[in-house]
Chains A and B, each alone.
Chain A
Amino acid sequence: MNERSVVGKPLPRIDGKAKLTGRAKYTTDIVLPGMLHAKLLRSPLPHAKIRSIDTSKAEKLPGVVAVITGKDTWGIRYGFVDTPNYPAEERPIAEDKVRFIGETVAAVAAIDPDTAEDALDLIEVDYDPLPPIFDPVEAMKDGAPQIHGEITRTTSCAWEDWGVARKSHSYTPENNVAARALVTYGDIEKGFAEADYIREDHSRSPGTSHMAMEPHTMVASWDPFEEKLDVWMNHMAYELKRYWLHKTLNIPITKIRIHKTYIGGAFGGKAPCFDYEVICGFLSRKLCKPIRIELTREEVFSSCRNSHRFDIDVKTGVKKDGTIVAQHVKVIVDAGAYKCSAPVAMFLSHAMCDCCLDRKNVRHEGVAVYTNKNFNFARRGHGAPQMRLAADCQYDQICEDLGLDPVEFLMKNLRKKGEVIPNGDRLDSFGLPDAIKKSAEAIGWKEKRGKQRDKNRGVGIGINGMFSGSGYWPFACTAIIRLNHDGTITLIEGDCEFGQGADTSYSQIAAEALGLNLEDVTLISSDSELCPMNYSNFLSGGLFVGGGAVYNAALDLRDKILKVASEVMRAKPEDIELKDKKAFLKSNPRRSYTFTEIQRYNIQKHAGDPLFGLGYKKAVPEIEFYPSLSKGTGRFTDAYGFTASTAEVEVDRETGRIKVLKIVVADDCGYEINPAAIQGQMVSQAVQGMGDALYEEIMDDEGRVLNPNLVDYEIPRAFDIPEIEVIDCSDFEPKGPWGGKEAGECARAAVISAIVNAVYDATGVRVMKIPITPERMFNALKAQEK
């Protein structure tokens, strides 16, 4: 590998000065002249018919400009999954029925937030309560209250525009089943018949909050003369949001501009379409005024998407030596009141996990069920953390039962580099074996595993694999690079900066290819009007797809510069090198032309064409249409990121309190474009994973969230942080930009399993329901004593 001067370096982030001086603009900071503020009235009941809504008193309150209800937005539908089989059923404002506590039933626009809030108290809603259902298993039983009637198509979806069959049908969910998935390969019965040992276990992962620091906010401004909607919003890819606004508000897509703001954290929680976004745009167009909606933290917890609650049954058959021969997985996803991404989550719980171990014969059944609770979406791993908890903790127990070592067990069942896995994906890069070995070494596996129970200490291991973007949605990006007069470049690409470091990493990718420094890059990003097509910022597709497009654009510009330089210098392109805004002869570096001179020459000689680089990238080029979510066939991704994590814990047996002493994250992200950013991603996931394993759960009583604030929903704080060691186990990814791929989501799942397995090693008690709060641990220890 050639010496690299910009990528591979922990360079300070280019958004640093703006963010550290308070000048960086987030959506919550946007103020427009004449801006009104809107607040939403939320349903206090989990399931009820709306008989009538009287808004007259609210409308009369001085300062109130408009009150809207479901009558105004009747018929508007959207959804993250909106396919011929599963048409969208979300609506911005409840129409004739509410399905969860927190669902929007009216919206008020007023001159200030307090007035809008006061007006909410004056709206009178006459509800007719219906019997609610909260448990997904109960909800599937005959005779359970039905949450949805016929779901009809009203708003056309993104999917059909991208080639999914246009013909679709209305349907009525039966037994509250929102969606099903069945993935099979091999011969499961034969597999189990060959097994020497079979184990069945149940695990549960709760709903959790992404808890991004910036509360969900949007500002929309309708220009009635240009008939155009300007938008500042919390998002993770403007193309998606723009699409939904276009479809729900019936505004031409190019008449919606999403402006760049920094996003105050996302973790998946800001990607789908939200009620308040449609309402914000709707009100702005109705009133021809800028509208701002900032949700309260309680609304973020109770009415925005949380992670999916999963109940998973796993049955695994192994040979005596630990070779896995069959696995049967049954997943129940508690979708909540609307399906949102539940059909994707139950499928991804298979798809993301199939890249790590060779299980030979697999049957993965998933069902997503409607309940009268707030509904859910992807959170950092989208289905993988829940599935890995189920699988990795069972493997750990199987090893205990058979007297095997979990690390050796994992190594024995690993897939191989270069292997083509059952759906057709090829593992061109596969750093998992190295990650398992190094993470085990770093925690002191051999010295500690099974040897510290007298000290109430234990170690555990977990693994995970994660897509680098996928074929769902088109996951494709374009990037443009302009060569400027002074030899610097302007990079134009669409990905948004929500903390992951996209702005910096992409600038590094481009600078490296052109022999420039990071300071030579001017960036225009995340503006839907200025930037080209961009679908990549979620499912960890950012660097591989978005960064890949930048890489290709930089190579394109490089080739063009070399072509002109070879003309000027009368040399072959391959004999010329680019460095410090100059092209020079490798054999005689003093013979050089500046980029400025090359640019001028090109304009004079070649019809005035300035030099531009154009690049594009698609997540999985071979996928023309979408793979089947319900059958799990078709390619998923072109490159997987991998993590192995180990943890050491100490358990206070008197109280059940668990203290994490150390977490090791060994990660394969292909190549560390910016090692400081990668370090940040890994530590971040270690700490979030610790929160998941030990603390975090959205708790509810009859559908009412009991802990919708940061006092009662506790996340790790500065004092809780253990020693965290990050080990780079990158395996060069040939299709990735400079070898890079996924880094932002994989590790979280591995850390959760590692901690939960370490708790077992410390206590001999298996807890497969997270979070393992002190009380849950205490009760498990008490049960063990009996």
Chain B
Amino acid sequence: MNGAKKTINVKVNGESYELSIKPKMTLLQLLRNELGLTGTKQACMDNSCGACTVIVNKMAVKACSVLAMQVNGKEVTTVEGLASKDGKLSILQEAFLEHSAFQCGFCSPGKLMSSTAMLEEMEDPTEEDIRRDMEGNLCRCTGYVQYLAAIKSVVQKRKEGKR
């Protein structure tokens, strides 16, 4: 039958779920409506702003443009999964806080997920790498400067930590 529900298994922020969903459900709807993980935001609905960015199997993707069916068997991390459960922020979250890298905060979860994936993938990104990899995350409040600085500070810290 058209639209009949199907079952998927997905790991979200370390928890395993078996869910019965309509095939047309997007990953974004799955996270927000089924799992109550509203940290991932919907802002443009046409794959152009990056507010819904989450990490699927280590890659940043836009949850509005991935069907939930397509993450069957995969691991998803959302902004709720960045900090430790006992309240310790991730190094990037700390940096965003220190640099006042957000204002209204609506696009911040997406930016955090993009930059988290980037710093996993690249050891020592250049300024250009950072800007290119953050290109998909629109922001209207901050003018980008403070959060680019926050990301750079983490890169710097990591380098110093290595020495």
Contact = CB atoms under 8 A, between A and B. Distances in A.
Q: Does A touch B (CB under 8 Å) in the complex?
A: yes
Contacts of B109: 20, 22
B143 A724 contact: yes
A15 interface: yes
Interface residues of A, number: 56
A680 B97 contact: no
A114 to B, nearest CB: 8
Contact of B104 (A16, A22, A265): A265
Interface stretch (B43-51, B67-75, B155-163): B43-51
A17 interface: yes
B57 interface: no
Contacts of A23: 39, 80
A214 B142 contact: no
Interface in A10-32: 10, 12-13, 15-26, 28-29, 31
Given A267-B140, A709-B48, A715-B140, A19 B108 contact: yes
A212 interface: yes
B109 to A, nearest CB: 5
Contact of B105 (A211, A499, A677, A719): A499
Given A17-B97, A262-B105, A213 B138 contact: yes
Contacts of B112: 20
A16 B139 CA distance: 16
A710 B48 contact: yes
B5 interface: no
Contacts of A687: 143-145
A214 B106 contact: yes
Contact of B97 (A13, A677, A718, A721): A13
Interface residues of B, number: 52
Interface in A708-732: 709-711, 715-719, 721, 724
A263 interface: yes
Given A24-B105, A214-B43, A214-B104, A717 B140 contact: no
B71 to A, nearest CB: 18
A10 B100 CA distance: 9
A181 to B, nearest CB: 30
B83 interface: yes
Contacts of A711: 46, 48
A499 B131 CA distance: 23
B91 to A, nearest CB: 12
Interface in B103-134: 103-109, 112, 130-132, 134
B82 interface: yes
A16 B92 CA distance: 12
Contact of A22 (B40, B45, B98, B130): B40
B144 A718 contact: yes
Contacts of B89: 17, 20-21
25 contacts: A15-B105, A19-B102, A19-B108, A20-B108, A21-B83, A21-B93, A22-B40, A22-B78, A23-B39, A24-B105, A26-B38, A31-B36, A213-B41, A213-B141, A214-B41, A214-B106, A262-B104, A296-B45, A297-B45, A499-B105, A680-B143, A684-B140, A688-B143, A718-B135, A718-B148
Interface of B: 32, 36-46, 48-49, 51, 78-80, 82-83, 89, 93, 96-100, 102-109, 112, 130-132, 134-135, 137-146, 148
Given A679-B146, A721-B131, 9 more contacts: A12-B97, A12-B100, A20-B105, A21-B83, A29-B32, A213-B107, A499-B104, A711-B48, A718-B134
**Nearest 6 interchain pairs by C-beta:** A22-B39, A499-B104, A264-B106, A19-B105, A499-B103, A687-B143
